[in-house]
Amino acid sequence: MSDSPISEHNGQGSTKSQDQNPSNEQKTQMEQAYRELQRKMRIAKLGEDIKHKILVLSGKGGVGKSTVATGLAISLAKKGMKVGLMDIDITGPNVPKMLGLDKTDLTVENGQIFPAIGPYGLKVISMAFLIEDPDKPVIWRGPIKLGAIQQFIGDVAWGKLDALIVDFPPGTSDEPLTVSQHLPGIDGVVIVTTPQEVALLDSRKSINFAKTISVPVIGVVENMSGYSIKGKGEPNSLVSLIGPEGVPIESKCDEEGNWSMTLDLFKKGGGRLAANELEVPYLGSLPFDPGIVRGGDDGVHRIVAEPEGETAIAFDYIVNNITNSLDEDSSTTLKII
Ligand SMILES: Nc1ncnc2c1ncn2[C@@H]1O[C@H](COP(=O)(O)OP(=O)(O)O)[C@@H](O)[C@H]1O
Ligand SMILES: [Mg+2]
């Protein structure tokens, strides 16, 4: 690096006494260079210390990227894997809130940051931990933001992990670009979308981005996919309802009189359609679940509150699809489209 403190100092014909008694400024530069070197060595080791690295992306905000990133991480950890979750959303880092964690759960030792520990031993690091007042909007200039990301990658004691999941802010490609330049051996990206028709447009953006950083697409997840309702009626009778947009829907009660229906609140199938059209795998869908919103507020994640519930099962299904595709091609990683 031409602007490195070391190269500035070299070959400047400095006198002997200067070399023997470096100024404070020189000392700071040397320390900085040493820290930089240590960070580079740690980052190089991450390639083998963290088996799989997955980036969670979406074409726009509010589609549930953080919800999916957090859910995937917990679902993997629930399977007994060692998992890390890195939240680099400075504008709205809500991952700790979803997990009931805050910065007091972090520890620093020998210049390394030890992540907060969430459910099932999940290791969590979030931009939220660096922000003084979570209610104040943060405006960080580009270089500071990118420096913080490099520290998140290089100065965090992740230890040996089976998987690291990375959550990003919406609507910008700066952060994923920096991560892709510094995190070695990224397996691929998971794209989160919603069931509406615009899903195709949004997913295409993420896929094009994955191409530009030469990272494979693991697949598409459709979030807020349908809302399940249940009830009781006469055994074996028909129950009919007026669903979204006035469309009647019917369900038959079973022998005990139980019935269930799925209401497609935001249309249906945008994610699968987008995956088919863009020729990438479809990983599955997540239901619209008011418990996810509640969990985001009270810090008890839906999967933790109800490990056998519909949302937890949906996450398990998606995670199985992801781990299968990683196992199939773990030596060379997935195909770059
Ligand atoms: N499947 C879901 N069911 C119900 N609410 C959801 C679901 N997924 C996300 N949400 C809610 O939608 C909002 C946005 O989700 P979030 O994960 O923060 O999106 P993003 O990270 O893409 O901006 C949050 O309030 C979250 O609780
Ligand atoms: Mg988010």
What's this model's pTM, rounded to 2 decimal places?
0.85
Neighbouring residues of 141: CB distance < 8 A, sequence distance ≥ 6: none
Which domains does the chain possess? 39-224+269-328 (3.40.50.300), 227-263 (no CATH)
Tokens of 287: 């239901």
Atom index in ligand 1 nearest the CA of residue 69 equals: 17
Residues 302 and 2: their CA atoms lie apart, in Å, by: 49
Q: What distance lies between CA 304 and its chain's CA centroid?
A: 18
Atom index in ligand 1 nearest the CA of residue 295 equals: 27
> What type of residue is 155?
D
Residues paired with residue 307 on neighbouring β-strands, in sequence order: none
Per-residue tens of pLDDT for the chain, all 337 residues: 333 322 333 444 444 445 567 788 888 898 888 888 888 888 888 888 999 999 999 988 889 999 999 999 999 999 999 999 999 987 777 899 899 998 888 888 887 899 999 999 999 999 888 877 767 766 777 778 888 888 889 899 999 999 999 999 886 678 898 999 999 999 999 999 988 867 788 888 888 888 888 899 999 999 998 888 888 999 998 988 887 778 788 889 999 999 888 877 777 778 888 899 889 999 999 999 988 888 877 888 889 989 999 999 999 999 999 999 887 765 444 555 5
Ligand nearest to C-alpha 57:
1
Ligand nearest to C-alpha 90:
2
Contact 260, 229 (CB under 8 A): yes
The C-alpha torsion from 233 through 239 and 242 to 243, rounded to 10°, is: 90
Residues 240 and 265: their CA atoms lie apart, in Å, by: 17
Pocket of ligand 1 (CB under 6 A): 58, 61-67, 94, 170, 223-224, 286, 288-289, 292-293, 296
CA-based nearest residue to 56, from 65, 47, 48, 44? 65
Contact 193, 266 (CB under 8 A): no
Residues paired with residue 333 on neighbouring β-strands, in sequence order: none
Distance 288 CA to ligand 1 centre (A): 9
